Structure 1
């Protein structure tokens, strides 16, 4: 589903159980005329309304009175994929446990809902709506329908392909799109997603339901197999070592652990020109220097473009230092990864 084009009205479905809060939000959203709101009050109504009206954005109360917020997110993303913005009076930011759970399920952003909306907070809400309305989200194959993983491949050029992916803000939704398109990939896939350590298991569970390949949490000294996806656990770096071994380490003490730079650099060292690095949406610059290391080793380097990124910070930093060979929309990245792996395997 495509987001709203620049200059067009943005059609929003607002899902809020409290009528007074709903009325206030409608006023805030429509004040400048570019956002048009349709309302409903329950998760079940939201699923049907989104399927029928196909809006550009869904704004959903994280704690609906019917208790169906999480189910609504999952059903909307399965039936009518649409950018979803979560609001909640019980969170301070997107790192709160309940917010993370919603993001893992497919929501793009989570914002606190203040007791009284100030003009500045209203402007921030409208800015967030405009931003995520530009993000393209699509339906994806389910993990239960995934084919059997491919058998080990011996590359003719003597190189072993390995795919390393990193993401931060907006990453879970981007990963759903990317992993859904990697069916039959004859290479291991290693993933770093910036996330609180307590929610790695939830993330892996969600990804296993939408990935075209089997998904698991990486274990120390585990051998990475082609056709499988390995997520870095929270609080430790994921390294790729000689013999296709995965290593989990606590040092160095970096702002993000797991770190995208640490993963990419290890893949560059070990896989050389067989490395394929993919940098997705995220805030900051983690991954830029590591992607450059892959580029300098002769590997392939891909990144998500600005139009399809929730936050273009990490890809932009990589582009700025010359680390990216292909900058693509999120729905084009899986094909690019498949092509890059075939080039390694085929020599």
Structure 2
């Protein structure tokens, strides 16, 4: 049975180009290609699609409002196809928070060439969306606003620096995720107290989006969340998210852990790659690390998680029932890389137990 796809985009070129790609793909039926959500709703009254490809900025009704309406009335996998600009990154992330399946970037120029190069990835994403655990995409009730983040200056004025301890007991939590990961990371990180081990995170996401994603999480969490920069130290109560388009590696400098941000080829078809991060953690931190592989398409991270386990790290994989897409954790479990398989809601407690066991 064909996957019925509805394309909603105000760009005539996008509708024409992507519509032709969908029409020519075996097992996919293009229900309609319309220019705005109002037209989409009329078409959906006749026949409901299996997957929706949706732009964000459109006339009559913005994509986020339309997405929220869909997820409230009849949850359906929605792929956000957004122009890759810093200005639109926050809007697109708001759409992810509203329950979108994933985000795919599109350029303002060179659309035909871009889609030719990424045609296989696009079709694979649509097929994965069809298999998604849609109920895991439905947003939770809004979280209460966290307490204001005050610096130590609020209690004790800064003084001359003291000598640091020659030895530290810092531990590392390394997390990898892809499709469905924006929601999964929000649920984990918002549950962590400030006294949590330092986290290094790879979320498959295009360039320009990771900074806005980190900023959004930082506003929601008690811990500090930021897009990693080369040389950043991994500190307790902090989470560093690999910047889109770059690999992130863990390095040790004396008693301190720092991250290195590098260019390089796609690894497991991704940059940043979870496998790259996990291997560096295995080599640098060994048994002083906890590895967690969350929801995502493909197998990125499975080999790296196994390397972490072989190096003495404790390793976790998300269970199928709580995943949006079970691909990455499933592969890790199959390879024997996960010491434990846990539901998403159990991950914060697992991190807390790990932190207490190394205190």
User: TM tier, shorter chain?
Assistant: 0.5 to 0.7
**Conserved? CA contact 2:38–2:61, under 8 Å:** no
Partner of 1:219: 229
Alignment of 1:1-347 (within 5 A): 21-29=40-48, 62-63=56-57, 65=59, 67-70=61-64, 85-86=77-78, 91=81, 100-109=92-101, 128=130, 131-134=133-136, 137-139=139-141, 141=143, 144-145=146-147, 159-242=169-252, 243-251=256-264, 253-254=266-267, 255-345=269-359
Match of 1:13 in 2: none
CA apart distance, 1:174: 0.8
Q: Is the 8 A contact 1:59 1:87 kept in 2?
A: yes
Alpha-carbon distance between aligned partners in 2 of 1:84 and 1:185, rounded to the nearest angstrom: 38
Partner SS, residue 169 of structure 1? coil
The higher relative CO (CA closer than 8 Å, separation ≥ 6) is in 1
In structure 2, C-alpha distance between the alignment counterparts of 1:141 and 1:234, rounded to whole Å: 27
Q: Distance in 2 between matches of 1:263 and 1:198?
A: 20
Q: How far is 1:186 from its partner?
A: 3.3
Match of 2:13 in 1: none
Q: Alpha-carbon deviation of 1:87? A: 6.6
Contact 1:179 1:334 in 2 (8 A): yes
- CA displacement at 1:211 relative to structure 2: 2.4
Could you tell me the TM-score, scaled by structure 1's length? 0.68
The answer on whether the counterparts of 1:170 and 1:281 sit within 8 Å (CA) in structure 2 is yes
Alignment correspondent of 2:4: none
Any gaps of 5 or more consecutive residues in structure 2? 1-34, 105-122, 153-163
Gaps of 5+ in 1: 1-15, 36-57, 113-120
CA RMSD of aligned residues (A): 4.1
- Name the SS for the 1:215 alignment partner: strand
Output the CA distance in 2 between the equivalents of 1:170 and 1:64. Answer: 24
Do the aligned partners of residues 332 and 67 (structure 1) sit closer, same or farther apart at CA in structure 2, a change above 3 Å counting?
Answer: same
Alpha-carbon distance in 1 for matches of 2:318, 2:76:
19
Cα distance in 1 for partners of 2:287, 2:79 equals 44
Distance 1:296 1:95, change over 3 A: farther
Q: CA deviation at 1:164?
A: 0.7
Structure 1 residues 188 and 266, CA gap change in structure 2 (3 angstroms):
same
Q: TM-score, normalised by structure 2?
A: 0.66
CA separation in 1, counterparts of 2:320 and 2:151?
Answer: 32
Aligned residue pairs total 284
